[in-house]
Structure 1
Amino acid sequence: MGIHIFQGHEPALKSSYINVVIDVIRAFTVTQYAFMKGAEGILLAGSVEEAFKLKQKNPDYLLAGEVGGLPISGFDFDNSPANVFKADLRNRYLIQKTTNGVTATLNSLDAEYVFVTGFSNARTTAEFIKNKLIGPAPDQLINIIASHPDGDDDLACAEYISGLLHGPRSCTGKEAADRIVNSAAAQKFFDEAKPQFNPEDIDLCIKERSSGFIMKVSYKDRIPMIERVSV
């Protein structure tokens, strides 16, 4: 088994057994909380225009995401897990467009299994892969993609997952959480001059939750979609 960590939303990947795409602040923390609030599935859009086209075809679907970290006009949700956690999403589908996490996922589909996660669901994801998917074959390739091009938040989570899968652990859960809080990507959430960024989001991004599911990317009508899979 080979585990490789890549950084950025345009990774140069070979075909692999498993790809794990990470976006801690905040896309895949949002998806976890959306599923916790009852969402059925989350379609991935590569652009704002594509998101609106998917919405036209599926009027009942909800739009969620950001451009440059900021809300998108006409979207139902921004990229805040705190805001999503307040919503009732039972039996609803979402369409998600984000700068790093969604883009990286759409560039990481050439694998037998594709998973997405933030730090909050990282341990559950790693344990599922280790216990259910990793076998004795030495040629199993696992790519872990830290989607932020230069952010230590996603890289810390990637190193944490790598250690959980195959040790030795270069980054513990506490160390990863500390690195996330201290990362450049997190600092704007603590800046009173930027009220559009909610510090509660960071609290949710660094809290590990045993939610009982992992998030797997599959296809719905040829559109990549994140599905909740119970563990």
Structure 2
Amino acid sequence: MQINIVQGHDPDPGPTFANVVIDTIRAFTVAHFAFLSGVRSIYLAESVEQALSFRKHHPDCLLAGEIQGLPINGFDLDNSPARIDRTPLNGRRLIQKTTNGVKAALNALNSEYVLVTGLSNARSTANFLKRVLQQHSPQAPVVQLIASHPSGDDDLACAQYIQGILNSSGGPDLEATVRRIRESEAAQKFLDPGRPEFPLEDLTYCTAELNTSFVMRVRHREGLAWIERQPIS
């Protein structure tokens, strides 16, 4: 198995067996807790305009996302995992638009498996992928771990943590990974009491590893891409 780590949301990572797109603070932590709260699926929108247009045709969907970390005017939800966790979502569908994670996922569809995660579902995602590779993989499969923040250490730390699990190399442990995420540039605004728009409790959600029975897999068809739960069997 060849494991590549790439950083940023713009490059097309090319054809691979699996692309794992990581957005720890906060898009795919939000997605994880949305599924835990009962969301059916999450559509990925490239722009605010696309999100609003899709909702116009699917008024049952809720809009969730951010621009530069801040709420989007006209959206139902922002990009806070803590607030998502407190929102009744059972049976609902979301439309998600974010700066890094969603964009990176939409640029990573050229793969048999496209998975998204933050740290909260990182180990479950890595273990699922190991099982898939053992059972179904071609010769010398290529796995890309895409740290969606173009320069931040939070997604890179999570990518290296997943890499260690995949190749059983004894890579960075959970404690070291959490420390790097909390010390990353992206985390600092959540630690600043002068910036209440970035709640500290979000950082707690983004650095808590959970043992869940599903991964988040991206499907796409006819110009639409969405995340759905895939059980870990």
TM-score band, normalised by the shorter chain?
Answer: over 0.9
Q: Distance in 1 between matches of 2:163 and 2:146?
A: 11
TM superposition shift of 1:229: 1.0
Q: Which residue of 1 aligns with 2:8?
A: 8
Q: Who is 2:157 aligned against? A: 156
Unaligned runs of 5+ in 1: none
Q: Deviations over 1:150-182 (max 9, x none)?
A: 110000000000010013133111111110011
- Separation of aligned partners in 2, 1:137 and 1:109: 18
CA distance in 1, matches of 2:6, 2:134: 20
Partner of 2:181: 180
The share of aligned pairs that are identical, in percent, is 50
Q: Which residue of 2 aligns with 1:145?
A: 146
Give, as a single letter, the amino acid of the residue that structure 2 aligns with 1:42: I
2 CA distance for matches of 1:12 and 1:137?
21
- For residues 124-148 of structure 1, give each alpha carbon's deviation from its aligned partner in whole angstroms, at most 9, with x where no partner exists: 0000010133457442010000000
Query: Which secondary structure does the structure 1 equivalent of 2:193 belong to?
Result: coil
What is the aligned partner in structure 1 of residue 127 from structure 2? 127
1:1-231 paired onto structure 2 within 5 Å? 1-134=1-134, 137-219=138-220, 222-231=223-232
Superposed displacement of residue 220, structure 1: 5.7
- Structure 2: tracts of 5 or more residues without a match: none
| 2: CA distance, partners of 1:12 / 1:219 | 16
Distance 1:128 1:91 in 2: 25
- C-alpha deviation, 1:11, in angstroms: 2.5
Q: Deviations over 1:183-227 (max 9, x none)?
A: 110000011111100000000011011121100001365410000
Contact 2:18 2:143 in 1 (8 A): yes
Q: SS at the partner of 1:192?
A: coil
Whether the 8 Å contact between 1:160 and 1:169 is mirrored in structure 2 is no
Q: CA RMSD in A?
A: 1.2
Q: Which moved more, 1:84-93 or 1:3-12?
A: 3-12
**d(CA) in 1 for partners of 2:143, 2:109:** 13
Distance 1:49 1:17 in 2: 32
Which whole-Å CA distance do the structure 2 matches of 1:169 and 1:209 have between them?
Answer: 20
Contact 2:165 2:171 in 1 (8 A): no
Structure 1 letter corresponding to 2:188: Q
Say whether the 8 Å CA contact 1:162–1:169 is kept in structure 2.
Answer: no
- For residue 91 of structure 1, give the secondary structure of its aligned residue in structure 2: coil
**TM-score, length-scaled by structure 2:** 0.96
Deviation at 1:87, TM superposition (A): 0.7
AA aligned opposite 1:83? R
Secondary structure of 2:69's counterpart equals coil
C-alpha spacing 1:14/1:134, structure 2 compared with 1 (3 Å): farther
Q: In structure 2, how many angstroms separate the alpha carbons of the residues matched to 1:209 and 1:41?
A: 20
Relative to the length of structure 1, the TM-score reads 0.97
Partners of 1:128 and 1:82 lie apart in 2 by 26
Moved more, 214-223 or 143-152: 214-223
* Deviations, residues 76-128 of structure 1 (Å, cap 9, x unaligned): 10000000000111110000000000000000000001000000000000000
- Give secondary structure in 1 for the equivalent of 2:34: helix
CA contact (8 A) 1:2 1:138 kept: no
